[in-house]
Chain A
């Protein structure tokens, strides 16, 4: 049975087609979910894509978090549904309190797009099981508000529980505390990542194909669970 991965489109989502392409490339079926529709159509996992949902009005992700589809996503995530938030999706997950902390304006105050080296720190999540612990990967980063912030207690908790999923190496593009590029919830099914794995899935269009690992990992996770 082909895994069915939902990709949410909010008004202002931009990388939704790209996330769908990445899902497709790994052999799963991308299913389009609409922000105003609470129905998840029984998908096996959900991706909240990058972009500027609601034009980043108020705060990045702050309005999307209240959309109809997010109520269902929040509930399903509580029941263990794998959820990946990429860039703006990560911001939505923080606003929805599925993940702790917040993403703030890049320290240098500029949008930045570059090919970024990361080190995978946790391979026990639903989305990173296919990587090696400590593996270095190259993924595009592109954001204006990607600086991960949290209080000391939260950071200690994330570090102590091994919930930092990936870290920036060879340069921190936005000033994130602890060089954090991706984190997970305590259960490991919800992951937020600032860089864009869906833009590193084809040799012709990406700096690498390292991003495929995120999407194949969740398929392996789903396969193992069944």
Chain B
């Protein structure tokens, strides 16, 4: 500190080369600190030290994972659909000549343990800004969540907060939540996993980039004011392990305001649409530091920034705090001088603060001043690209051989029909397999009006183009028990499951994003798990012919020395040419034929059955065969398009038994099942062999569908039929369970643990009668009063702003019966489509 300024400056740093600096407290090693001094030719200022410590943290620099993650690019199948890939804020994939989608899954694990609501909320906010930064309108979110044991006391604190945070932020942004996972395992007790996925849509020619080109261009900070929240989020929280006796971490968690983010989205989209900006970058982890260095480094330019111009929530903040703050809802824009006024006007109309804080310069130095003194003068590339890279030591976990030898196939199993029945009910009620509507009812799945399928379906399906019906499907999956037993194949299994789920909904898988949640990279056993999982995922993607487009690594997920199971979460995105042919998971029409696709082996190790009934984890996970997955996916997609399937559901956790529970309860349809001959009934019901699906085929389609399976060499066995009258699941020769009994087992678990959300005071109206099934399960047809729906006669006349809907070139026909099948001619995506023939939507018009 200088006596005159009260803060550390570049000139002061030059004069005091030997001043001691707290680099270790900031998470830097001595050799890393020496390297910084070498780069700068002097000691860093306090602000510079803060910036290096953040940018060279594990979270930002990927210093332990980089050497492994290269495989995703090296092994990526060639694809001309990928418009942006690894290294960008999110991967971008073209799905038609005009439309591209961008998606990514990220972690916000540690903040969510410290402060569940805000941690989860800002996790959603952060991934949404990544998608926004690519030029896309965010259209949906998903949230793979993992908690400690369901009945543990702390889970009662963490889970409701996380769920409310995910919902509170996403709902308020107007983003439908279309899927995800809720998994319980004691390994997450002190370290829950909160991963968040966002997907967005953009016209191909509106792709944005983060490069701060054009010396003289203005650097604009858009969005919320900067405060002291989230300081050190990436270095303190995301790059270190928790200890129970450590200091309170709460100030390192950010606080979100989704309302500001909603305005930020709308203002950014208007700026993109009107081509008012040169570059854009979101502020997430590492805040302004990351945004300033990445935008200038990627363009090979420099910047002059006056930090005093940054709008602050607290006037007393130090420059290093301003640079490190992870305050939410902010974006950095690069704007040509001549367009600055218009940019500021757009922001003002949306009620968002926009402030010019600096300029792009030539010469490749990022120079930041504070009260007239230079506090930072660095080559930005040194923070972004020159960070340390470690080839950490790796060692197969010592216990792995013993663990793999302890096979679940040797455990005692149910033998009689009665025992099988009990086992099925017990599994259906277990926390990992039970109904998750306690969670998902807290998320808005309808907003935007394009949700075709959402949880608990195989995958979330969103309509992208209302004219053509073009849509996308996304599923996220991960089985950490499998990955614990074999991380290489565990990662492949996660990929296979997500891939299968997308195909089961009728879509063709196209691209992958991943969130790799692991323990400490400084533990060689964890590092081995990580390397194996990355290798498995990269190989798997190569075999399936779909590239990894981006993702996130989360290390230090451990409590003390106890790491979580290696948890690679894989998201697969697929495209469906017409969402009208999407395939739901629940059994369809009465007497439809039920078929089991794929081959069932005796594979019980790592299974849900072994875990629930024996608390057992050991053996080898199910074999993964991606050639068979490809065949299955081809059949499912093709059959969906041809209308051969009234339903399809992938087989995974809990095997055929759980698939039957979910497919019957979905639309309250009974089923009569005859288990395949030659297979032990227990194995048939509870094995978790991969590359399998349960489908129902409408009468009249069996021949064609069976022929299609034969043509592809896919084993397909008729195992029963849908029974709309019995309201029971009957497994011939073994047991019968009424759907009511099944439902109460399946639905009761989470409400019993986390509180009953039903609000059913004595009904006022005497005529209202309780129904045996709750309304959300009621999928009977309800006749509306649609018969009087008028047909549009003419294009609307001018008035206020006209919604895009009425710009649709074709006059829509509204069917006069309940069979509104095709998507209407309302093209909301037009809003995003850069068009020359229509002005952008201007609410002030």
Please list the residues of chain A having a beta carbon within 8 angstroms of any beta carbon in chain B: 2, 4, 6-7, 9, 11-12, 14-15, 17-18, 20-21, 23-34, 36-37, 39-43, 50-52, 54-57, 106-108, 110-117, 119, 130-132, 134-138, 140, 142, 144, 167, 169-175, 177-179, 196, 198-213, 216-217, 219-220
Contact assessment for A171 and B760 in the assembled complex, using a CB-CB cutoff below 8 Å: yes
8 Å CB interface, B790-845 against A: 790-797, 799-806, 808, 812, 814, 818-821, 823-824, 826, 828, 841, 843-844
Contact assessment for B812 and A28 in the assembled complex, using a CB-CB cutoff below 8 Å: no
A24's partner among B580, B764, B805, B843 (CB-CB below 8 A) is: B805
Decide yes or no: A39 and B814 within 8 Å by CB, A30-B805, A34-B844, A106-B759 being known contacts. Answer: no
B449's partner among A17, A51, A111, A173 (CB-CB below 8 A) is: A17
Contact assessment for B172 and A55 in the assembled complex, using a CB-CB cutoff below 8 Å: yes
Q: Is there a chain A Cβ closer than 8 Å to B410's Cβ?
A: no
Write the nearest CB–CB distance from A174 to chain B, whole angstroms.
Answer: 6
Q: B765 — which chain A residues lie within 8 A by C-beta?
A: 119, 167, 169, 178-179
Q: A217 — which chain B residues lie within 8 A by C-beta?
A: 785
Q: Is there a chain A Cβ closer than 8 Å to B4's Cβ?
A: no
A37's partner among B173, B449, B785, B844 (CB-CB below 8 A) is: B844
Write the nearest CB–CB distance from A198 to chain B, whole angstroms.
Answer: 7
Contact assessment for B444 and A43 in the assembled complex, using a CB-CB cutoff below 8 Å: no
Q: Report how far A136 CA is from B437 CA in the complex, Å.
A: 24
Write the nearest CB–CB distance from A70 to chain B, whole angstroms.
Answer: 15
Q: Report how far A136 CA is from B721 CA in the complex, Å.
A: 31
Most central of A23, A26, A30, A202 by chain B CB within 10 Å: A202
Q: How large is the interface on B (under 10, 10 to 19, 20 to 34, 35 or more residues)?
A: 35 or more
Q: Is there a chain A Cβ closer than 8 Å to B463's Cβ?
A: yes
B789's partner among A9, A131, A212 (CB-CB below 8 A) is: A212
The contact sample of 10 A-B pairs, CB cut-off 8 A, is A2-B796, A4-B797, A21-B824, A24-B803, A25-B814, A30-B796, A32-B803, A52-B259, A119-B768, A132-B785
A208's partner among B579, B784, B795 (CB-CB below 8 A) is: B784
Q: Report how far A12 CA is from B351 CA in the complex, Å.
A: 11
Contact assessment for A220 and B788 in the assembled complex, using a CB-CB cutoff below 8 Å: yes
Binds A, one of B80-88, B163-171, B189-197, B363-371: B163-171
Q: A205 — which chain B residues lie within 8 A by C-beta?
A: 446, 449-452, 463
What is the interface of chain B mostly: helix, strand, loop, or mixed? loop
Please list the residues of chain B having a beta carbon within 8 angstroms of any beta carbon in chain A: 164, 167-168, 171-174, 257-260, 262-263, 350-351, 437, 440-452, 463, 579-580, 582, 755-761, 763-765, 767-771, 774-776, 778-779, 781-786, 788-797, 799-806, 808, 812, 814, 818-821, 823-824, 826, 828, 841, 843-844
Q: A31 — which chain B residues lie within 8 A by C-beta?
A: 796, 799-803
Contact assessment for A203 and B775 in the assembled complex, using a CB-CB cutoff below 8 Å: no
A-B pair count, CB < 8 Å, reads 283
Contact assessment for B803 and A7 in the assembled complex, using a CB-CB cutoff below 8 Å: yes
Q: B452 — which chain A residues lie within 8 A by C-beta?
A: 204-205
Decide yes or no: A4 and B796 within 8 Å by CB, A14-B174, A57-B259, A171-B758 being known contacts. Answer: yes
Q: Report how far A41 CA is from B799 CA in the complex, Å.
A: 5
Q: B812 — which chain A residues lie within 8 A by C-beta?
A: 24-25
Most central of B257, B790, B802 by chain A CB within 10 Å: B790
Q: A200 — which chain B residues lie within 8 A by C-beta?
A: 784
Residue of A whose beta carbon sits closest to that of B349: A36
Residue of B whose beta carbon sits closest to that of A115: B776
Write the nearest CB–CB distance from A121 to chain B, whole angstroms.
Answer: 8
Contact assessment for B820 and A175 in the assembled complex, using a CB-CB cutoff below 8 Å: no
Contact assessment for A112 and B757 in the assembled complex, using a CB-CB cutoff below 8 Å: yes
Decide yes or no: A208 and B781 within 8 Å by CB, A18-B447, A32-B841, A34-B800 being known contacts. Answer: yes
Q: Report how far A107 CA is from B802 CA in the complex, Å.
A: 39
Residue of A whose beta carbon sits closest to that of B763: A179
Q: Report how far A205 CA is from B843 CA in the complex, Å.
A: 27
Decide yes or no: A115 and B775 within 8 Å by CB, A17-B449, A216-B786 being known contacts. Answer: yes
Contact assessment for B784 and A24 in the assembled complex, using a CB-CB cutoff below 8 Å: no
B446's partner among A36, A132, A142 (CB-CB below 8 A) is: A142
Contact assessment for B764 and A179 in the assembled complex, using a CB-CB cutoff below 8 Å: yes
Q: B440 — which chain A residues lie within 8 A by C-beta?
A: 113
Contact assessment for A112 and B441 in the assembled complex, using a CB-CB cutoff below 8 Å: yes
Q: B775 — which chain A residues lie within 8 A by C-beta?
A: 114-117, 138, 170-171
